[in-house]
Structure 1
Amino acid sequence: MMSRNRDYGRREVLRAGGIVLGGSVLSGSAAAADGDGSTTLTLLSYNDVQTAAAEDKKFPRLVTLIEQRRAAADGPVVVVGGGDQIGPHALSPVSQWRAPVDVLNEVGPDADVIGNHEFDYGLDAVSDVTEDSDFPWLATNLVDSDTGEAFDGTESTRVVEQDGVSVGIIGLVDEGATFGKTNIEFNERGLTLEDYTETGPAEAKRLKEDEGVDVVVALAHTGVPDAEALAEADADDDIDVVVVGDDELEYPPAEVSGSIVSEAQARANFLSEITLTVADGAVTSWEGELIPVTDDIEKDPTASDIINDYRAEVSLDSPVVETETALDATFSSNYHRETNYGNLITDAMRERADADVAITNAGGIRSDSVYGPGEITGGDVFNTLPFPNTLVTLELTGDELVETLESQIVTLESGGGQEFGEEVTQQVSGVRFEWVPHDDADELVRDVRVGGEPLDGDATYEVAVNSFMAGGGSGYPLGDKPVLAETGELLATTVVDYLEGKGTIAPRVEGRMQRVDRDLPDASVTVDGNGKVVCQFDAPDDVESVAEDTVDVWALDGEHLGAEKVVFDADERTLVVRVDDGDLAETVGDADDGDEIPLDLYAEYESSEFDHVYFERSRLNADVEAVVEQRGRGRNALAAR
């Protein structure tokens, strides 16, 4: 199973303070409310350990940091998790959930929440996870449809009593972390997902009124925006703290509508620490911060031993290939654009399946890291492809292939686009296309070519995907498509086998998925007599300036040529692009006299209309056709038109 967890950058805002007056947290210092009879409660939290569970790096250091902060606390300490701890990670094939659970048992948290990746091994396996855990897993609003109680292996709430302070803990998920990120049909399996904005506040009120708890902590595997919505829905301010997981943001503790909201990014990079002053059954003040897990923190030896013992079983530290270029496995790149690592993965899939096209979802590429240049180990590959997915080949018509590609386009104007920017959320091989990320676009995906040839909507194509996608995961419309073949081997194994036969690799971006915001009209093309081709375009109304170093002419095989000269005239509303015809001929490669070569010109520009969230600029496109002309001594040249 694969999620849409992303970390698009650091949130550089320091937040601290808060005094409760009339039930609402207001800004102030913790010391201001201290008085006789008060207790300082320390809440430590982490979330989305995921791939860090398979590495003897950050996770053992996080364990040490938790123990250090426990020892330094002036009063009781409660430790909680925000979900997505047991997957995905590179040790899944040999340990499934056991490696991270074994380490977390050393931590001894007071509770964790069931997140979408706790379902990575299936719904039935959740009871095995909870049985192996020395701490409770909460699912307050995902309940048995018949009884309304927590489903097998989970608990609805947990009350922790320490030094006279009573802390009630609830665990919440939203639709995105259940139906949206798993292939489990929860309703058919007898589970009901209740509205977290209703169940959460109601359960918090019950804990305070019926069980007399002093503090309520909501573990919300919902992402920050939904956690903020939870705080806003809690009209009586019964939820004191919301510990967030899922979207993996660096979100230091902040007051939101009477609750303290915090998320510690992911992969054991941070520990959230919130100190609450509790007096007369209420939180009277607070302070909080995110503490980075740095290399100067010693590793917990027991945690390191657990991880390394599992790693030894599968030789994850053995090198499989040498890369001359850095392999980009970061979330932001793979969700937004073509990457060289995405190309490598899908090339391996297509070769193994002997398929026409291969597609993998961006959420299936994990670790949020860059690998190389240098040696790449089997562990690196499993760390980036940690799910127990296999390779499946489907039969799709050309029209179905376009529908499949379009299902992953997030437009700029959509809610997701306004939050994260427009996205393509997939990586491909064997197919090339342009994507237009705007609600008013006639086509979200266009100019599709398979194997270099224009797509035939009625023809059938063999398309290799992972088993999660084949089942309809990540919103792919593939659940009912004919299955031609299944390898039965892990996708990570497929990629490792592919790399072992290479020796040295240098994958690159080839223009397989080209973003386009605006089209340029037909060009006026001239040849200046000095071996230069000059194209003049009328510029769209929203063009304010053109970034000259971004103007390139692309051939269908991924070769491209930068423009020699670019002139944008804002008064005349014209764009002039000049290229060398000899260099252009080398770009398109071997061709015969008279051949017509389709080319694409792309240019980034400042737009008066589009306000981008992720991309720096908008992007123009023009279709250019070049005709091969034979010149002396067999030399080819091109005249564009």
Structure 2
Amino acid sequence: MSRDRDYGRREVLRAGGIVLGGSLVSGSTTAADGDGPTTLTLLSYNDVQTAAAEDKDFPRLVTLIEQRRAAADGPVVVVGGGDQIGPHALSPISQWRAPVDVLNGVQPDADVIGNHEFDYGLDAISDVTADSKFPWLATNLVDSETGEAFDGTKSNHIVERGGVRVGIIGLADKGATTGKTNIDFEAEGITIEDYTETGPAEAKRLREEEGVDVVVALAHTGVPDAEALAEADTDDDIDVLVVGDDEIVYRPTEQSGTIVSEAEARANYLSEIELTVEDGSVTSWEGDLLEVTDDIEKDPDASRIINEYRAEVSLDSPVVESAVPLDATFSSNYHRETNYGNLITDAMRERTDADVAITNAGGIRSDSVYGPGEITGGDIFNTLPFPNTVVSLELTGEELVETLESQVVTLESATGQSFGEEISQQTSGLRFEWVPHEDADELIRDVYVGGEPLDLDETYEVAVNSFIANGGSGYPLEDKPVIDDTGELQATTVVDYLEPRETIAPTVEGRMQRVDRDLPDASVTVDGNGKVVTQFDAPDDVRSVAEDTVAVWTPEGDHLDAEHVAFGEGDETLVVRVDDGDLADTIEDADDGDEIPLNLYAEYESSEFDHIYFERSRLNADVTATVRERGRGRGRGRVGPPGN
């Protein structure tokens, strides 16, 4: 149901590092009263998600938890950072039951309600909590009338181990609630309190009124917001922040007097923090992330539960053979066009016979690469695990541009500064440029539908998934007219698209072209003879040009690499040469006298832009090619200065 901006697609945001013998002093002096220090071990995981449907790392994580429990020199507390029960490939069959059944065997002390706990609807939360043998916390999501935890959840949970009282609270920010679900919390009578106020206040209450020695906050906020929470906790009442949501490797690190840790996602890591507790305070600590590897044996009960659910459907049946790797990684699908994104949206467009198809990057899960080789039904459902159906809407050209613009993250924005500029979607039937900068006149431009320039006043049929059709991921589509509601799962649509094909080899076709700076427009003549040489005045920030990235593209997506590029240190002019005959072949359907709009793209080192994800900046020039009958030219293609 919810599609989030998960940053598991990211590389490490902040490496953290192993911290040994750190010091951390916190509040209460009412417990652990003089019997000497106690070593309390805190084990945590977060964002199990797609791993819940696979007999792989999840059963190994269960084993690792039991191993670390047994090895601990003192009491142990086990907690989760949210997003455990979705999305995963078994969602259509088991909903929350498969991961909850496995976690019941783990017997964690508490978990926090994250955005993916809402995947099955708000009413289902009470079913989730009823099936769980451990509490789910939502400290700052409260009933608007009573101020108490909303139905099925708890505000806090206190456990006592080895004479140490541990208070646990659960927090979520608006990004993990209203920002990533389609639930109208206000209309449902739920108030989302400011986690930076509620969290420290509840931690202080637990210390003063409940006599706890250690406070652990399960924060489904992502690391940057967790760090803001640590800073807001001015009295240092929160000892540890177990983080979920952005799915990064963040080794236990002290921030503003609080230990912060996140164990990436998909059962890849287990966070282990040892707290020395004496006289009601945490006096020192050490911790690290433990990787879940293939060397760890699978817990047999966890494997049995998962495989029993998998046996109910054909998740292990082969669907198609892929000759190329299919890229379902978060980092790729949020930042650029991918071959797997093209495959998904092509399937949606074919199913509805729409002009265009769009899917949100957050709806493509698993953060994995599949193939080359056999692709199974389980692979498809792993990457598209939500109960979303395929819907087609009627949009004007202007509305289509607004829809595409809604997903652009600029480099200068807060998100862009952390994770780089993003296009955040995948498309079919479209070609366009996106300019990821705050000062851009247009974030989306030069849009072509089916090879023809977009008409802002024309209407187009656009296939999307039901989540974004209802306004999910910030798409402005909630009130748009529905042409066709197929009622068919998006994953099923892709499986049906693949099954008739013996082998697939989807490619990246230049559907979404990133542009940072523009070169002057140019005009060329193409007659199939000689060379076409074009020169451009380069922008001031161009330090060097990567010659192997310079290419000319047609509106249909065909492209021709430049055979020679000249731009040296200190140069102000970029010179590009292509073979006239090859260029003529690229636009071979054109007639004598036709003017063909082409685009030249080139990557370059910029003195201005400091990219987070991309290696280089990108140039664009609009080039008009006038076709002349072959063999009738002067023996070479030619062009004067740009515009001549």
TM-score range, shorter chain: over 0.9
Contact 2:526–2:628 (Cα < 8 Å) also in 1: no
Alpha-carbon displacement from aligned partner over 1:579-605 (angstroms, at most 9, x marks no partner):
111111222343323322211100001
Name 1:360's counterpart in structure 2: 359
SS of residue paired to 1:78: strand
Structure 1: unaligned runs, 5 residues or longer: 25-34
Name 1:591's counterpart in structure 2: 590
- The residue type equivalent to 1:235 in the other structure is T
Contact 1:524–1:536 (Cα < 8 Å) also in 2: no
Name 2:473's counterpart in structure 1: 474
SS of residue paired to 1:305: helix
SS of residue paired to 2:473: helix
Cα distance in structure 2, aligned partners of 1:336 and 1:21: 39
Map residues 420-435 of structure 1 onto 2, 5 A cutoff.
Answer: 420-435=419-434
Of residues 414-423 and 619-628 in structure 1, the stretch that sits farther from structure 2 once superposed is: 619-628
Name 1:2's counterpart in structure 2: 3
Name 2:18's counterpart in structure 1: 15
CA shift at 1:527, angstroms? 8.5
Cα distance in structure 1, aligned partners of 2:246 and 2:264: 8
SS of residue paired to 2:494: helix
Name 1:31's counterpart in structure 2: none
Count of matched residue positions in the alignment of Structure 1 and Structure 2:
630
CA shift at 1:144, angstroms? 0.3
Name 1:32's counterpart in structure 2: none
Structure 2: unaligned runs, 5 residues or longer: 28-33
Cα distance in structure 2, aligned partners of 1:531 and 1:638: 6
Name 1:541's counterpart in structure 2: 540
Map residues 207-222 of structure 1 onto 2, 5 A cutoff.
Answer: 207-222=206-221
Name 1:82's counterpart in structure 2: 81
Name 1:388's counterpart in structure 2: 387
CA shift at 1:17, angstroms? 3.3
Alpha-carbon displacement from aligned partner over 1:583-634 (angstroms, at most 9, x marks no partner):
1122234332332221110000111111111111110000112233333599
Contact 1:157–1:170 (Cα < 8 Å) also in 2: yes
Contact 1:410–1:423 (Cα < 8 Å) also in 2: yes
Cα distance in structure 2, aligned partners of 1:524 and 1:404: 32
Name 1:560's counterpart in structure 2: 559
Contact 1:325–1:506 (Cα < 8 Å) also in 2: yes
CA shift at 1:258, angstroms? 0.6
Residues 195 and 515 of structure 1: CA distance in aligned 2, closer, same or farther (over 3 Å): same
Contact 1:524–1:537 (Cα < 8 Å) also in 2: no
Counterpart check, 1:465 vs 2:464:
yes
SS of residue paired to 2:312: helix
Cα distance in structure 2, aligned partners of 1:466 and 1:265: 27
The Cα RMSD (Å) is 1.9
SS of residue paired to 1:121: coil
SS of residue paired to 2:308: helix
Contact 1:585–1:637 (Cα < 8 Å) also in 2: no
Counterpart check, 1:630 vs 2:629:
yes
Cα distance in structure 2, aligned partners of 1:588 and 1:170: 63
Of residues 572-581 and 526-535 in structure 1, the stretch that sits farther from structure 2 once superposed is: 526-535
Moved over 6 A (4+): 526-530, 636-641
CA shift at 1:412, angstroms? 0.6
Contact 1:138–1:156 (Cα < 8 Å) also in 2: yes
Cα distance in structure 1, aligned partners of 2:355 and 2:536: 36
Counterpart check, 1:509 vs 2:508:
yes
Cα distance in structure 2, aligned partners of 1:71 and 1:587: 66
Cα distance in structure 2, aligned partners of 1:215 and 1:196: 19
- The residue type equivalent to 1:128 in the other structure is D
TM-score normalized with structure 2 length: 0.95
CA shift at 1:36, angstroms? 6.2
Contact 2:526–2:637 (Cα < 8 Å) also in 1: no
Cα distance in structure 2, aligned partners of 1:249 and 1:19: 22
Cα distance in structure 2, aligned partners of 1:252 and 1:196: 22
Alpha-carbon displacement from aligned partner over 1:58-103 (angstroms, at most 9, x marks no partner):
0000000000000000110000000000000000010000000000
Cα distance in structure 1, aligned partners of 2:588 and 2:368: 35
Contact 1:361–1:474 (Cα < 8 Å) also in 2: yes
Alpha-carbon displacement from aligned partner over 1:501-555 (angstroms, at most 9, x marks no partner):
2221110011110000000013475889971110000001111111111111111
TM-score normalized with structure 1 length: 0.96
- The residue type equivalent to 1:453 in the other structure is E
Residues 513 and 638 of structure 1: CA distance in aligned 2, closer, same or farther (over 3 Å): farther
Alpha-carbon displacement from aligned partner over 1:392-428 (angstroms, at most 9, x marks no partner):
1111111000000000011111111111101000000
Contact 1:409–1:423 (Cα < 8 Å) also in 2: yes
CA shift at 1:6, angstroms? 1.6
Name 1:581's counterpart in structure 2: 580
Cα distance in structure 2, aligned partners of 1:592 and 1:273: 69
Residues 21 and 13 of structure 1: CA distance in aligned 2, closer, same or farther (over 3 Å): closer
CA shift at 1:325, angstroms? 1.0
